[in-house]
């Protein structure tokens, strides 16, 4: 397990994993982490990685690490194939997530194990697997109904971590990707989380995807029950696009990107700072 996760587990806080696809988002996250002296994970999904470039994001993060001295982890989020994961590792990502949740339980174990064997050999210290049916994408949607069978089964979780050797596990406990138009928060099944945490033990870090739109008190309780990494994307995307629209409307004749973008960076930074405070990772760098 990565050191920042061990410390988070021992001291009951969580590290935010924030998604990016451009420089302004990285800048906002790093500034937030710097202001609050927090460790931080910067994630790119396959689509986001392809837009910013895997090599490019690696070098950008290296530059910020050198400048700030902060623990900033570059993480591949929802890697869906062995090839995507192999490429990220070869380029120098620090941490990877293989999302085999759409496969059958047996195939998910088999594929995840293959990836764990490869990534271990390459010295990767955080390999995240996923179990359960996580609905939705990182956007605004009508309503998403979570079904009881979507939730991660604790017996399967135990078998999955034992057979694959992952360091961390993304679970489904009522969480969904994205936020609903009505502003309604999903119901988080804390009892299921407690059950899973008991069977997988301290060697495994539990991960909560779909961190946008979850009630603050549910986040806090989840951290007490073993969540050490929380992924957030949609709320950052909303802050970005809303503030960009406003910035453009405020001065329609403005065409200078470095004058249009500062309020956008500020808006995203504010969301990241709020999350870091809720997750409790401030002053833990």
Q: Which stretches of the chain bind ligand G3H, using CB under 6 A?
A: 19, 77-78, 138, 177-178, 209-212, 231-234
96 is in the binding site of which of Zn ion, ligand G3H, none (Cβ under 5 to 8 A by kind)? none
Q: Which of 192, 209, 229, 275 binds Zn ion (CB under 5 A)?
A: 209
Interatomic CA distance for residues 89 and 121, integer angstroms: 11
In this complex, which beta carbon is closest to ligand G3H, that of residue 119 or of residue 208? 208
User: What is the set of active-site residues?
Assistant: 77
**Closest separation in Å from C-beta 233 to ligand G3H:** 3
Residue 90: count of CB within 10 angstroms of its CB: 11
Cβ(75)–Cβ(17) below 8 Å: yes
Interatomic CA distance for residues 33 and 240, integer angstroms: 18
In this complex, which beta carbon is closest to ligand G3H, that of residue 60 or of residue 239? 239
In this complex, which beta carbon is closest to ligand G3H, that of residue 97 or of residue 113? 97
**Closest separation in Å from C-beta 161 to ligand G3H:** 19
Strand 140-141 and strand 95-98: pairing? unpaired
By CB under 5 A, is residue 75 in contact with Zn ion?
no
233 is in the binding site of which of Zn ion, ligand G3H, none (Cβ under 5 to 8 A by kind)? ligand G3H
Interatomic CA distance for residues 25 and 268, integer angstroms: 7
Interatomic CA distance for residues 64 and 9, integer angstroms: 26
232 is in the binding site of which of Zn ion, ligand G3H, none (Cβ under 5 to 8 A by kind)? ligand G3H
In this complex, which beta carbon is closest to ligand G3H, that of residue 45 or of residue 164? 45
Interatomic CA distance for residues 129 and 200, integer angstroms: 13
**Closest separation in Å from C-beta 41 to Zn ion:** 12
Total interface residues for Zn ion by CB under 5 A? 2
**Closest separation in Å from C-beta 233 to Zn ion:** 7
In this complex, which beta carbon is closest to ligand G3H, that of residue 46 or of residue 163? 46
174 is in the binding site of which of Zn ion, ligand G3H, none (Cβ under 5 to 8 A by kind)? none
Cβ(36)–Cβ(276) below 8 Å: yes
Q: How far is CA 208 from CA 30, 87, 88, 230, 248, in A?
A: 21, 25, 22, 5, 35
Cβ(91)–Cβ(74) below 8 Å: no
Cβ(81)–Cβ(42) below 8 Å: no
**Contacts to Zn ion by CB under 5 A:** 209, 231
């Amino acid at each position: 397990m990565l050191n920042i996760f061990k410390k988070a587990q021992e001291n009951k806080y969580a590290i935010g994993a924030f998604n990016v696809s451009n420089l302004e988002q990285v800048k906002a996250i790093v500034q937030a982490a710097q202001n609050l002296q927090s460790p931080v994970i910067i994630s790119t999904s396959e689509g986001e990685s392809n837009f910013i470039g895997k090599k490019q994001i690696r070098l950008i993060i290296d530059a910020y690490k050198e400048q700030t001295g902060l623990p900033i982890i570059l993480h591949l989020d929802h890697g869906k194939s062995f090839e995507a994961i192999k490429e990220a590792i070869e380029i120098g990502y620090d941490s990877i997530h293989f999302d085999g949740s759409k496969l059958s339980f047996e195939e998910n174990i088999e594929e995840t194990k293959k990836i764990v064997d490869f990534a271990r050999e390459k010295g990767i210290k955080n390999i995240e697997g996923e179990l359960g049916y996580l609905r939705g994408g990182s956007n605004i949607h009508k309503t998403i109904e979570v079904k009881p069978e979507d939730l991660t089964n604790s017996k399967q979780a135990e078998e999955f971590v034992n057979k694959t050797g992952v360091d961390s596990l993304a679970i489904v406990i009522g969480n969904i990707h994205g936020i609903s138009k009505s502003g309604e928060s999903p119901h988080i099944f804390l009892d299921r989380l407690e059950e899973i945490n008991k069977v997988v033990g301290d060697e495994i870090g539990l991960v909560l995807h779909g961190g946008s739109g979850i009630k603050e008190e549910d986040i806090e309780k989840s951290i007490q029950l073993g969540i050490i990494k929380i992924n957030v994307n949609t709320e950052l995307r909303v802050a970005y696009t809303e503030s960009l629209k406003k910035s453009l409307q405020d001065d329609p004749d403005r065409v200078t990107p470095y004058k249009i973008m500062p309020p956008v960076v500020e808006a995203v930074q504010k969301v990241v700072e709020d999350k870091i405070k809720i997750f409790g990772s401030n002053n833990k760098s």
